Amino acid sequence: MSQGATAAATTLVVQGGTLIDGTGKPPLENSAIVIEGERFKTVGKSGEVHIPPGSEIIDATGKTVLPGYIDGHGHWEDWFGELYLHLGITTCVNIELYQDAPWILAQRDAPNSGKIRGPRLWASGQALGTRQAEAVRESARAARGEISISSAEEARAAVQKKKRDGYDIIKVNEFVPLNWLEFVTKEAEHLGMPVTGHSWDAIGSTRAGIGGIEHIWSVGYSSITDDQKRRQIGADRLLRKIDAEQVGAFYELENYDRIIDAMAENGVAWTPTVAKWLWPLSPNAERFWARAQAILGDPASKYFPAAFPYTVAQTRNRFEKYNPEQLQLAKSAHEKSLEFIRRFVQAGGMLKEGSDPPQGMAGLQMHVGMAMDVEAGVPPMTAIQAATLNAAKTFKKEKDFGSVEAGKVADLAIIEGDPLKDIWMTQNVKMVVMNGKLIDIGFHSDWRNPIPAALPGHAVPRDIEISPVAITQGTPTILRVTGKGIRPYLNVRLNGNDLETRFVKGELEAIIPPQAIEHVGLYFVTVSSPGTSGQHSYPAHLIVRFRD
């Protein structure tokens, strides 16, 4: 039973709303949805559906009822739970994480059993990849790591281990050779595990048996016929020599159709994630921004990490700094990205949506993606399926999830407004049913994940350097802290205690008062991001020596 669930009767009935069931059927007005236990029992029109005596009734009159949303591309962090529920997301597909360890499995199993407040998780753990590429070693990818493979046999063995360890999904990165990828997909199919990932060559990945391809740049790179050029552009993006917001300007429109045809014919799902990088160019950009700010402005959400407003504003801030040439590249990327989305859906491709944090707002960015799909020319009904049934199909879960049909797990998002007229209404969530129970979708300032993440998240640098590295006992000192990823919201800590910290020209300056170093010894300096789990960097060592 999910935390926040009501003390429900044996049968729950959601009645009177307009049902968009996720299958693509026309909306059903004045619907009645009968839920017994955790599953839908009967779905039909009010007056035509038997309602058992004593049922708990939820009046959805004037509202639209949809399947609980599935964020098809998540990177889970321990404080996301309430945010996802607030946005009607009852399932998050965790595609890759910072660690391939018991933590994500514990996170997955606890929400699935109702012991952590949040959506259910389908987990991949770390991606399969290779460490041969300098761009990976030098990029943010290195921080979250990967399972390095160096042969087809190692690829097969890695899949087998994923299955033994209990993961739901296999993710591969673009550096895995296609002949190894084929071993991955065959073994995964044998074990009943879906495979998704990045690609340099979407046609080759399709032929190798991949089930899903992630990001606009995977298919965009694939449109560049010069292999050396495409790999150089990809490496430059990873190394931040060119922004992801601009890289789409190099896609070759004339090669889109052959990629799309191969993916559509083989049922390969695709997640654009264009919202992450290009939302400021949307005509609805201010609506997106206002919704994000409303969430950040909720007094009860103040437990979110200090880093969160920074990551939410990251794309917007980047656009504000662009010169005319950079902005023109981004506009070209936006046009070419929406063109691929439009053609992909028109050709019958399976569109899937996801928020792809940390840049932007986890969960909300999935809704932004749906809105941008519609801007590209995708029918609103198809955009809704991208965040419901199509996501379930991609990960072989459609028997139980993704649509409102008898026998399936009872997840619902009940919204104000008509998303077929205005797709942005998908985020206007008023009630959520998960596992057959009405749940609380508010923020709670005292909520914390009982199993916080062990490793530094994206918002905290792993390694830091300090200056000076040795000081005299009892001497007040200004400590300078540097490192990759130093941000204004970070705090410096000494042996676990916060120091007065300020951000100066890309560095942190912390004041060490004399009473904090009265005793000689080895002290530990860390950098932390205030809020929620309080993740911190690996320690730097400070020597406090004897006073003369």
pLDDT at 5: 40
Angle between helices 256-265 and 324-346 (to 10 degrees): 40
Q: How far apart are CA 417 and CA 415, in angstroms?
A: 6
Asked whether the predicted pLDDT for residue 465 surpasses 80, the reply is: yes
pLDDT at 131: 65
pLDDT at 231: 85
Categorize the per-residue pLDDT at 307 as very low, low, confident or very high, splitting at 50, 70 and 90.
Answer: confident
Q: How far apart are CA 38 and CA 424, in angstroms?
A: 29
Q: What are phi and psi of 488, to 5 degrees?
A: -65, -25
Q: How far apart are CA 75 and CA 232, in angstroms?
A: 26
Q: Is the dihedral of CA 384, 389, 394, 397 positive or negative?
A: positive
Instruction: Give strand pairing partners of 13.
Output: 34, 57
Is residue 248 within 8 A of residue 222, CB to CB? The reply is: no
- Specify the pTM: 0.91
Characterize 180-211 residue by residue with b for buried, 16 or more Cβ atoms within 10 angstroms of its Cβ, and e for exposed. Answer: bbbbbbbbbeeeebbbbbbbbbbbbbbebbbb
- Mean of pLDDT values over 319-340: 97
CA distances from 342 to 25, 374, 378 (A): 21, 9, 6
Categorize the per-residue pLDDT at 4 as very low, low, confident or very high, splitting at 50, 70 and 90.
Answer: very low
Q: What are phi and psi of 378, to 5 degrees?
A: -80, 135
Is residue 248 within 8 A of residue 339, CB to CB? The reply is: no
The three-class DSSP label of residue 298 is coil
Lowest mean pLDDT among 56-65, 72-81, 476-485, 532-541: 532-541
Angle between helices 364-375 and 285-296 (to 10 degrees): 170
Cα angle 65, 270, 215; round to 5: 110
Which CATH superfamily includes the segment(s) 1-68+402-443? Urease, subunit C, domain 1 (2.30.40.10)
Asked whether the predicted pLDDT for residue 456 surpasses 80, the reply is: no
Lowest mean pLDDT among 107-111, 337-341, 444-448, 489-493: 107-111
Locate tokens 């460490």: which residue? 131
Mean pLDDT is highest, among 233-247, 462-476, 526-540, for 462-476
Q: What are phi and psi of 358, to 5 degrees?
A: -85, -25
What tokens does 155 get? 């690829």
Q: How far apart are CA 461 and CA 451, in angstroms?
A: 21
Query: Edge-to-edge, what's the strand order for the sheet holding 195-197?
Result: 147-148, 128-129, 170-172, 195-197, 212-214, 269-271, 350-351
Categorize the per-residue pLDDT at 451 as very low, low, confident or very high, splitting at 50, 70 and 90.
Answer: confident
User: What is the CA 76 to chain-centroid distance, rounded?
Assistant: 6
Where in 405-529 does DSSP place strands (E)? 412-415, 429-434, 437-439, 465-467, 470-472, 477-482, 491-494, 497-498, 500-504, 507-512, 521-528
- Mean of pLDDT values over 202-230: 95
Q: Is the dihedral of CA 393, 397, 400, 401 positive or negative?
A: negative
Q: What percent of the chain has pLDDT over 90?
A: 78
Contacts of 470 (CB under 8 A, 6+ apart): 542, 543, 544, 545
pLDDT at 2: 37
Contacts of 292 (CB under 8 A, 6+ apart): 312, 361, 364
Q: What percent of the chain has pLDDT over 70?
A: 93
pLDDT at 23: 98
Categorize the per-residue pLDDT at 112 as very low, low, confident or very high, splitting at 50, 70 and 90.
Answer: low
**CATH fold for domain 69-381:** TIM Barrel (3.20.20)
Closest CA to 62 of 433, 415, 410: 415
pLDDT tens digits for 32-84?
999 999 999 999 999 999 999 999 999 999 999 999 999 999 999 889 999 99
Q: How far apart are CA 224 and CA 365, in angstroms?
A: 28
Q: How far apart are CA 360 and CA 362, in angstroms?
A: 6
Q: How far apart are CA 489 and CA 494, in angstroms?
A: 17
Q: Where are the domains of the chain?
A: 1-68+402-443, 69-381, 465-545
Cα angle 243, 244, 246; round to 5: 70
Query: Edge-to-edge, what's the strand order for the sheet holding 429-434?
Result: 18-19, 64-67, 412-415, 429-434, 437-439
pLDDT tens digits for 17-31?
999 999 999 999 999
Length of the chain counted residue by residue: 548
Fill in the amino acid letter for 248: G
pLDDT at 457: 67
Pairing relationship of beta strands 491-494 and 470-472 according to DSSP bridges:
unpaired
Q: How far apart are CA 262 and CA 271, in angstroms?
A: 16
Q: Does domain 465-545 have CATH number 3.10.350.10?
A: no
The per-residue pLDDT of the chain, averaged, comes to 92
